[in-house]
Amino acid sequence: MSNSTKDQSPGFISHGAAASDARIDALMRITTAIETAATLDELFLLALHELNRMFSVDHSLIILLSEEIVGTIAGEYPPRVAVVPNLPLDQSPIAQRVILDRHAVALTVEHPGADADAINLLLGECGIVSSQILPLIAQDEVIGLLLLGYAAHGSLFAEEDGLLLRVLGGQLASAIAAFRLHDAARRRNQELTTLNEIAATITSVLDTREVYRLVVQKLSTYFNVEAGSLLLIDDDSGDLQFVMTIEGGEEKLAGVRVPVGRGIVGSVVSSREWAIVHDVATDPRFYAKVSEDSGFRTRSILCVPMIAKGRVIGAIELLNKRDGPFTEDEALRLLRMGAFIGVAIENARLFQQVTDGRDRLVAILNSTTDGILMGDMDGIVRIANPTAAQICACDERELLGRQLDDVIDVLGSRAQERETRTWGSDEAGIPAMVVELTFGGSEHRFVRILRFPVHGAEGIIYGQLVVLRNITHERELEQLREDYTNMLIHDLRAPLTSIMNGILMVQRGLGGPVTEQQNELLRIAYQGSQAMLELVNNLLDISKMEQGRMTLDMRPISPYILIDMAVDRLRVSAESAAITIEQQTAIDLPTTDADDDKILRVMQNLLDNAIKFSPRESVVRIGAHYLRTGQPLPGDIPLRQLPAIGNHLVFWVQDRGAGIPAVYFDRIFEKFGQVNGKKVRGTGLGLTFCKLATEAHGGQIWVESTEGHGSIFAFTLPIVTT
């Protein structure tokens, strides 16, 4: 093989002159072809045909360049049936010379070998032995090459032909650039139209499955493929799940999964980069199981990731392009569209979640028997349910936009009685409170208003919640229970008293001599009856104190006498349990006004509990101290908690039992309260009585305990100084 080149700028070697009018006619025909061609293929065919006639050449070609310096034969005359592969022009010195120098080159080819330049091989395949290669330049960029060639030796271009060819080449390059720009604009317009249709679909359809179907359908039509799929990542497993596949107009593969990292789609999701596979049989990543299960023969794949807000949420797969192989330009277009679709689908999913959550919230609000008012940080009502409107005797729409305080005040103004309790406020100054309203008249009812601050997931307060609860039925049941309890208590006291009096008479021998064994049995019966009477009295007193009907017989009492009496009453119980009772009372304790019977029962209950819960042969300590305002507790007193401000007598009982967990400190003072569900001999009413009796005197009661180290129960009685 041998070839020779010669720069031909501005002219070429002589080949004979043509008539001026013939050249003008040919030039006009070429110009007309450039002006009238509707497509690039038509432009190439008409232009090359006229160039062949004008310069009497045997063959002509147009090679267009890509960004990777790969040439594609875009036009050829006369056309050949055989498809010529892409030309690696970066490995062709001849092509590189034309591109870099931007000058035409004359080339002669003789017997090219297997290792010849790609241009030489191409010309040899076309039967060309001498040719002219011209760069096509548009907007100062080489966009392609024009090759004109002769099949006979000695056929050369004239100098004036070179000048004319250069002018025609510039016109042809400008026309190609205009067509490319027009095609790019048309493709971009089609892309935007498709995206607009998808956006309209997503915003107008609430069913996410229908959204997936329409998205895949639009993409399959736009890229002209046999099948398309949309896959989303399962947040729990990480698998890719087919949410929609359209093949031949039919939906398939819904719910089928691709394991994490498997398949071409798994690789795309992991790398976050698009992939084109022209022949899946040669790609080891291909996950054939899906195609085998569906019976669809996959030949080629274009796959891009869907990224929404910086996170990969899934992928789009297009299979088997109908009009040729997938191209890089199509991959980039699908990637752009995938980014938009990913955000749109993610927003649609979030909207669906919000809609579902809103619907569930509305259903809950509408079905609950409690009235619900939700306010913002300014206390403006933003949400109101039908029950709230019913309780407030107005329409739901009338509640929206009003101040929560105004709604509560208006409701309270219609009530006969109003009781308000608060338990502090948070850092935003929103109080947590309970308001109980009593309404009279024909609609006699009770309403409890609960008000709380609303915290977000991060603890930030963003509103207020008001619950309006109709507690009329609850109050009626409570009253019925109280009436029944009072009736039962009153009915029990008389027969119990008769039983106890009868036992005492028998013990005294009024019915005849009593043996020692019989006397022991009578003693046990009397103690049991006495315990039952104490239970009845506790129930009656607790009921009265809860309703505010307890009358206290206030008189000056001595703390020393109260402690001595409580110890005397329980001395036998302590001795039977091998418990030692120690007293720790300060000197010069003042007297205080109190109901001695109620306070003695308080001390007796606390001391009885300490004996019950202490191990055998241990010590129970009972003590008292006078605490003045601002005065610290002495070091020998086992208490750690100071009572309320003021002058108080402080009494305490300390045991050596198992202790009480802190979570039960409040519960043990409730009626029938238990610790861990366990009780030791008792009704669960003793501490309730102690709490109510102490508070009725203006004092307070509390417990201090550490598990494994015993407990201390303490209460205070106020000292009024003059």
Residue 629 parent element (H or E): none
Q: What is the dihedral of CA 125, 127, 130, 132, to 10 degrees?
A: -60
- The pLDDT score that the predictor gives to residue 19 is 47
- The pLDDT score that the predictor gives to residue 16 is 42
Which two tokens mark 48?
């090359």
* pLDDT of 257 higher than 80: yes
Which two tokens mark 49?
């045909």
* pLDDT of 622 higher than 90: yes
Distance in angstroms (rounded) separating the CA atoms of residues 159 and 55: 12
Distance in angstroms (rounded) separating the CA atoms of residues 81 and 47: 19
- The pLDDT score that the predictor gives to residue 536 is 73
Residue type for position 418: R
Residue 212 confidence class, pLDDT cut points 50, 70, 90: confident
Q: Residues 54, 55, 61, CA angle at the centre, nearest 5°?
A: 100
- The pLDDT score that the predictor gives to residue 621 is 92
Q: Which long-range contacts (CB under 8 A, 24 or more apart) does 665-672 make?
A: 665/702, 665/703, 665/705, 668/703, 669/701, 671/542
* pLDDT of 17 higher than 50: no
96 phi, psi to nearest 5 deg: -60, -35
Q: What is the mean pLDDT of the chain?
A: 79
pLDDT tens-digit series, residues 675-701: 554 444 445 577 888 888 888 888 888
203 vs 301: which has the higher pLDDT: 301
The mean pLDDT value for 509-529 works out to 81
- The pLDDT score that the predictor gives to residue 155 is 64
* pLDDT of 10 higher than 60: no
- The pLDDT score that the predictor gives to residue 318 is 92
The mean pLDDT value for 597-610 works out to 88
Distance in angstroms (rounded) separating the CA atoms of residues 128 and 190: 41
Distance in angstroms (rounded) separating the CA atoms of residues 511 and 364: 71
Percent of the chain with pLDDT over 90: 6
Residue 228, strand partner residues:
246, 318
146 vs 164: which has the higher pLDDT: 146
* pLDDT of 488 higher than 80: no
- The pLDDT score that the predictor gives to residue 449 is 83
The mean pLDDT value for 134-151 works out to 86
* pLDDT of 403 higher than 60: yes
Distance in angstroms (rounded) separating the CA atoms of residues 508 and 502: 10
Percent of the chain with pLDDT over 70: 81
Residue 710 confidence class, pLDDT cut points 50, 70, 90: confident
Lowest mean pLDDT among 10-14, 221-225, 334-338: 10-14
Q: Residues in the chain, how many?
A: 722
- The pLDDT score that the predictor gives to residue 12 is 39
- Exposed (0-12), middle (13-18) or buried (19+): which is 104, by Cβ within 10 Å? buried
pTM: 0.41
